[in-house]
Amino acid sequence: MKHAVLIALGDELLSGIRREGNCSWLAGRLTRAGWRVDCMEILPDGKDSLPKYLENRVGTTDLLVLSGGLGPTHDDCTREALSSFLKVPLETADEAYDKVIARYPAEMRHLLEKCRDTQGTVPRGTRAVHNPEGSALGIAFEFSGTKVFAFPGVPSEYRAMAEQELASEISPLTNGTASVLVAGWPESLLKDRIAPVISRQELHISILPSPGLVEIFLRGNPADVVRGEDDIRLLVPGDCLPSGARSLEEAVIKGAAQRGLTSACAESCTGGLVGAALTTVPGSSAVFFGSAVCYSNSAKKSILSVSESTLNHFGAVSSQCAAEMAEGALRIFGTDLAVSVTGIAGPEGGSAGKPVGTVWFGIAGKGRTEAVKRLFHGDRDGIRNRASMFALLCLWRKVSEPEK
C-alpha cells in the first residue's frame, strides 16, 4: 500500500474562518484508489515553518501534496519555501506561464504579466504544473523517493490540477474494492447485522458512517469482494442503495427516472433542505417538480390546503398535518409522489408532549398516504439535517417499493 501526506497552508484555515476541504477531497480519492493517507496537516502562511516541515516529511512517504500559498501576494510563500528546502533559486517558467496567460482575455493579460515574477516561477530543476482553472502555476518534483506536488488552494484549481497530475494515482480501484451504501441504519446495528461478512479474514472492511447513510467499503481479492458485496446486499435487503448512486438524493432521482415517477415535497422545519438536496443532482428537473416550503401556518393553509381544524386540534406538528401537507404537495405539483416534513427544530417551541426534535413525515402517492414520526436529538442544525435525510429515505423507499 502506498502512503501519502497532505498539507494545507493558510491562516484563514487556522483562524477557523474556512474549513479545510482540499486535503479532505484528495484523501477520499486516494483512499478509494487504495492509498493510505498517514496524516493531514494545516500550517500557517509564511515561509518559516514549511522548509523544516518538509525536511522531516519528504523521504518518509510516497506522495506529499501541498495546498495553497502559490498566489502573487506577500502571504504566498510556498514556492520560496520549496526553493529554500531544495536549496535552489526560483526561475521563471516562461513556457508554462505563457500557456496560462493565453487562456485569459487580452485585457487581463497585462495584469497577469505583472505577476510573472511571482506566480510564474518555480524552483530550478522542478516542473511547472499547468493551471487549467486559474493563473498560478503549480510545482512538481521528486526527492528522496517522495513525489511532491504543490497546487493553489482555490478548490477548483486544486482539484483540476490534482485530477490532471495524479490521474493514474487517484483512479478508483475497480478490481478488488467495492462500496455499499446502506440507508436508515445506525452504524452499531448495521455492524451486528453484517458481522458474518466483517469477520471474514480475507476481506478488509471499513465502516464509514455519515448522517443517514453508512458506507461499507470492502477491499480484498476481487472474487472475495464480489461475494462480500453480494452477501451484504442479502443481509440488508431493501436498504442498500443501487450500485452507482453515491447519495440518497441521487438514488431517489435515478430511481424515479427509471420508474417514470415524478415527485415533490412540502417542507416546514427543514425550510427547503429536502428540495435543495434533491436538486443537487444534475438532471433532477426531469422528475422533481418542486417543494412547497410552508413555514407559517397561514402558508400551510393557503398553499397546501391544510385544514383549519387540523391545525387547531392537532397542531402543525402532527400526523394529520403531515399527511395533509403531503397530499397538498401531490395536488399542487401534480406529481406521482410527495413527501412532507413538519417538526420542532428548536431551540424554542418544544413541549412535554412534543419535545424539540419531534418531526412528522407524510408520504403520499400510489393511492395511499402514510405518516410517520421520529424523535431526533441534537441542535437545530442537527435536527434539520437528520429530518431532511429521513424525508429523502421515505421518498426513496416509496420510489423503490415493488409495484403491486
- Sites for a second copy among residues 360-389 (CB under 8 A): 378-382, 384
Beta-strand (E) ranges in 32-184? 36-43, 63-67, 90-92, 121-123, 127-129, 138-143, 146-151, 177-183
State the burial class of residue 87 (Cβ atoms within 10 Å of its Cβ: 0-12, 13-18, 19+).
exposed
Which span sits near a second copy by CB under 8 A: 11-19, 59-67, 123-131, 317-325? 11-19
Q: How far apart are CA 13 and CA 22, in angstroms?
A: 11
C-alpha torsion angle, residues 133, 139, 140, 146 (rounded to 10): -120
- The residue (of 44 and 176) whose beta carbon lies closer to a second copy is 44
Under DSSP, is residue 144 helix (H, G, I), strand (E, B) or coil?
A: coil
- The residue (of 135 and 291) whose beta carbon lies closer to a second copy is 291
Question: Which residues are CB-contacts of 356 (< 8 A; sequence separation ≥ 6)?
Answer: 344, 345, 346, 347, 349, 350, 383
| Per CB under 8 A, 351 contacts a second copy | no
Site string for a second copy, 45-84 (x = CB under 8 A): ----x-----------------------------------
| Per CB under 8 A, 279 contacts a second copy | yes
Cα–Cα separations (whole angstroms), residue 164 to 133, 151, 161: 11, 11, 5
- The residue (of 232 and 383) whose beta carbon lies closer to a second copy is 383
Size of the site for a second copy (CB under 8 A): 80
- The residue (of 49 and 92) whose beta carbon lies closer to a second copy is 49
| Per CB under 8 A, 337 contacts a second copy | no
Of 157, 267, 324, 327, the one binding a second copy (CB under 8 A) is 267
| Per CB under 8 A, 347 contacts a second copy | yes
Q: What angle do CA 158, 55, 129 make, to 5 degrees?
A: 30
Q: How far apart are CA 115 and CA 204, in angstroms?
A: 49
| Per CB under 8 A, 132 contacts a second copy | no
> For residues 378 and 345, is the Cβ–Cβ distance under 8 A?
no
Question: Which residues are CB-contacts of 353 (< 8 A; sequence separation ≥ 6)?
Answer: none
- The residue (of 22 and 369) whose beta carbon lies closer to a second copy is 22
Beta-strand (E) ranges in 44-176? 63-67, 90-92, 121-123, 127-129, 138-143, 146-151
Task: For the segment 190-229, give every residue that binds a second copy (CB under 8 A).
Answer: 206, 208-210, 215
Of 294, 317, 337, 387, the one binding a second copy (CB under 8 A) is 294
Of 41, 117, 142, 202, the one binding a second copy (CB under 8 A) is 41
- The residue (of 243 and 280) whose beta carbon lies closer to a second copy is 280
Which span sits near a second copy by CB under 8 A: 238-246, 250-258, 271-279, 359-367? 271-279
| Per CB under 8 A, 348 contacts a second copy | yes
Which span sits near a second copy by CB under 8 A: 84-92, 235-243, 328-336, 357-365? 328-336
> For residues 94 and 106, is the Cβ–Cβ distance under 8 A?
no
| Per CB under 8 A, 275 contacts a second copy | yes
| Per CB under 8 A, 295 contacts a second copy | yes
- The residue (of 126 and 177) whose beta carbon lies closer to a second copy is 177
Q: How far apart are CA 160 and CA 164, in angstroms?
A: 6
